[in-house]
Structure 1
C-alpha cells in the first residue's frame, strides 16, 4: 500500500528507488520488506537457484517449511516475476534424491489435516526399512512419506518409529544419510515437530556458527516477520539463553543493525 501511494504521489517505483539509494545488507533488508510473502519466497528461490552457486540451505528452509497454499502462491509469483517454472528450475539446478525430495515438496500436495492412526505403524516400518536399506527405492519411499503425509499423521509416525527402533527419527536420518538430502529430511522432521524451533535453530547457527551469515538471518526475519517471529524469538531465548534481539545487536551494526532489530523487536530486558 505504501509502494502504491509512493507511485501515485511521486510517479516513481519505491523498490527501484530503494535499490538505487541504499547499499549492502541494509538495502537487502529494506527491499526484501517490500515484497509480499509469496513474492519474497519466489525472489529468494530464484536467487538460490540461478546465482553463481546454488544455495541449497535456502531451498531447504523455504520448501521444507511452507504449507500447500504458500507453495502454490510462491510458484505463481515465481512464474509471474521470472517467467520460469519453479519445478523445472529445481529439476535443472539440483540433482539426486535431494532434487527428487525438493520436487515432491514443490508440488504442494501434502495431505494437510488428515491423519489415520491405523497406518502410522506401517509408515513407521517403511521409514525404518529405508534407514536400514538405503537403496534408491527405499529413499524414494522415505521422502514420499515425509513430503506427502500430514503433520498430524507424521507426529504419530515418528512416535511409532521410536517405539519400533528405539531411536529418534532425526538421529536415524543423521546416522543413515548425508549431504543436503540428509539436511532436507531433518528440516522436514523439525518443521513437523515445531516450526518456530526449527527457525530459532537456523538463526542461531547463522549468527554463531558462520560468523553471522547475513543472507540467512535476513531471509528468516523477513519471511517469518508476519507469521511466527514472536514464537521464534521465544524458542530462541528458551533454547539458547540469550534473546535473538541481544545476539543480533552483538553481531550487526549501523543502519543494518537498526533494521534487523526493528523487525525482531524485543522485550524490555532485551534492550
Structure 2
C-alpha cells in the first residue's frame, strides 16, 4: 500500500546493495535473444523498492537506448507481463494506468475504481490525476462522470476531488457526525445518501475512527453492519471500503487479495 506522497509502506523495502547499472545490465542480458530468463527478472524487479526500479529503468535506457517497459511487453505475455510491467511504473503512474483501463472500452471495473480512490491520500489523488491527464489526455473527473452513475458516481467524484481532511480530528463533532450517519441509515432518502457520502468521503480517517465509535454508542450497531443493511450495489461497496480502510488499510487489501484468489 502507499501512504502520503506515495511512500512505500508494504513488504518490499529498499535493497541497500542495489546497483541500478548492474541490475540494468542483468535485465538486458535476461531479455536478449528469442526467450528470456524469467528468474532473473523476478529476482531483480520484485526485490527492489519502487524508487529503485525507476532508477534501474533509467539506467537501462541509458545503456541500451531502449525502453525497459517496451522490452518487457515485447518479450513477455499474460499475467506475468502485467506484473513485471506494472512494477516498473511509479505508483501514481500505475494508479492512473489502472483507472484508465478500468473505464476504457465496454464495461467498467467498478471494484478497481473503489480500491484506488478509496485508499489513496489527498496527495496521492492529485499526483495520479495529473499523470492521468498527461498520459491519456483525459480528465479523470469527466471519465468517472461518463462511466458511472447515481450516488456511486457522486461518491467517486467526491473522492477524486482530493478534499478529505487529513490529520484533523474534533472529538466534539464526532457524536454530531455519528447522529447524522444514523439518521441517514434510518431514512435512506437521496438527500441522506448524499449526507452519508459527504461525511465518509471528506472527514479525516482520525475523525471517522471516533465517529464510528460514537455511532456504535448511539445505535448499538456497528457502522459496517448498518451500511450493509441500508444500502446496496457499488455504493454500498464503496462505503464499506472506506470503513475498512479507516479501521485497517492492510487488512482491507488482504481481504481483496483473498477474494481475488478464491
- Give yes or no for TM over 0.5: yes
1:148 to 192, 202, 210: 202
Please report how far the alpha carbon of residue 23 of structure 1 lies from its aligned counterpart in structure 2 after TM superposition. 0.4
* Corresponding residue pairs, total: 208
Distance in 2, Cα, partners of 1:32 & 1:52: 22
1:161-181 Cα offsets, whole Å, 9 max, x none, are 001110000000000000000
Equivalence for 1:183: 237
Structure of greater Rg? 2
Please report how far the alpha carbon of residue 51 of structure 1 lies from its aligned counterpart in structure 2 after TM superposition. 3.5
Structure 2 unaligned spans of 5+? 1-54
Q: Does 1:105 align with 2:145?
A: no
Distance in 2, Cα, partners of 1:182 & 1:138: 14
Counterpart of 1:144 in 2: which secondary structure? helix
Matches of residues 114-193 of structure 1 in structure 2 within 5 Å?
114-193=168-247
Please report how far the alpha carbon of residue 8 of structure 1 lies from its aligned counterpart in structure 2 after TM superposition. 1.3
Equivalence for 2:112: 58
Distance in 2, Cα, partners of 1:45 & 1:18: 21
Cα RMSD over matched residues?
Answer: 0.7
1:42 to 65, 74, 96: 96
Equivalence for 1:213: none
Distance in 1, Cα, partners of 2:164 & 2:209: 14
- TM-score scaled by length of structure 2: 0.78
Moved over 6 A (4+): none
Please report how far the alpha carbon of residue 89 of structure 1 lies from its aligned counterpart in structure 2 after TM superposition. 0.5
Please report how far the alpha carbon of residue 52 of structure 1 lies from its aligned counterpart in structure 2 after TM superposition. 2.4
Distance in 2, Cα, partners of 1:177 & 1:138: 11
1:12-31 Cα offsets, whole Å, 9 max, x none, are 11111111110000000010
Distance in 2, Cα, partners of 1:196 & 1:10: 38
Structure 1 unaligned spans of 5+? 209-271
Distance in 2, Cα, partners of 1:163 & 1:62: 31
